């Protein structure tokens, strides 16, 4: 699970082009225990794992949570200007790894 969140953030141009539309869902909130994992999967080596220290895990979790919050705030800012208020989607259901790469 940690791999999915980190891998998605590291991919270039992984945000869909229609993310900032009125009817597109917001990003799913990362799990609370995201910093409890002690390994990562190197990009391109899906079957191998590398141990990471607690500091690295906390740093990666902080980045993931911050990017998710900022993207959702930017999307909500855009959605406030939508002409049809009944078409606005505010559910946090988009998992970028599952929805784009899975």
Q: pLDDT tens digits, residue range 60-70?
A: 888 888 988 99
> Considering the domain boundaries, does residue 102 fall inside one?
no
> Considering the domain boundaries, does residue 99 fall inside one?
no
State the average pLDDT over residues 35-56.
77
Residue 71 burial (CB < 10 Å; 0-12/13-18/19+)?
A: middle
| The predicted structure's pLDDT at residue 46 | 66
| The predicted structure's pLDDT at residue 26 | 92
With DSSP H G I counted as helix, E B as strand and the rest as coil, what are the percentages for the chain, rounded to 5? 45, 10, 45
> Considering the domain boundaries, does residue 8 fall inside one?
yes
Residue 75's domain spans which residues?
Answer: 2-94
> Considering the domain boundaries, does residue 101 fall inside one?
no
> Considering the domain boundaries, does residue 83 fall inside one?
yes
State the average pLDDT over residues 35-59.
78
> Considering the domain boundaries, does residue 52 fall inside one?
yes
Quote the number of domains for the chain: 1
Least confident of 21-30, 37-46, 47-56, 72-81: 37-46
| The predicted structure's pLDDT at residue 100 | 61
pLDDT surpassing 90 at residue 86: no
Give the separation between CA 5 and CA 54, rounded to whole angstroms.
17
pLDDT surpassing 90 at residue 6: no
Q: Are strands 39-40 and 92-94 parallel, antiparallel or unpaired?
A: unpaired
pTM of the model: 0.75
pLDDT surpassing 80 at residue 73: yes
Strand partners, 94: 27
Give the separation between CA 44 and CA 50, rounded to whole angstroms.
13
Structure tokens at 93: 């259901």
| The predicted structure's pLDDT at residue 76 | 92
> Considering the domain boundaries, does residue 85 fall inside one?
yes
- Contact partners, residue 71, CB within 8 Å, separation at least 6: 15, 19, 26, 27
């Amino acid at each position: 699970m940690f791999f999915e969140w980190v891998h998605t953030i590291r991919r270039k141009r992984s945000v869909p082009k229609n993310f900032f539309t009125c009817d597109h869902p917001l990003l799913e909130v990362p799990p609370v225990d995201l910093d409890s994992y002690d390994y990562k999967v190197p990009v391109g080596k899906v079957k191998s794992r590398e141990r990471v220290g607690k500091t690295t895990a906390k740093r990666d979790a902080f980045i993931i949570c911050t990017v998710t919050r900022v993207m959702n705030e930017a999307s909500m800012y855009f959605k406030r200007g939508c002409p049809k208020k009944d078409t606005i989607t505010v559910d946090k259901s988009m998992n970028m790894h599952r929805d784009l790469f899975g």
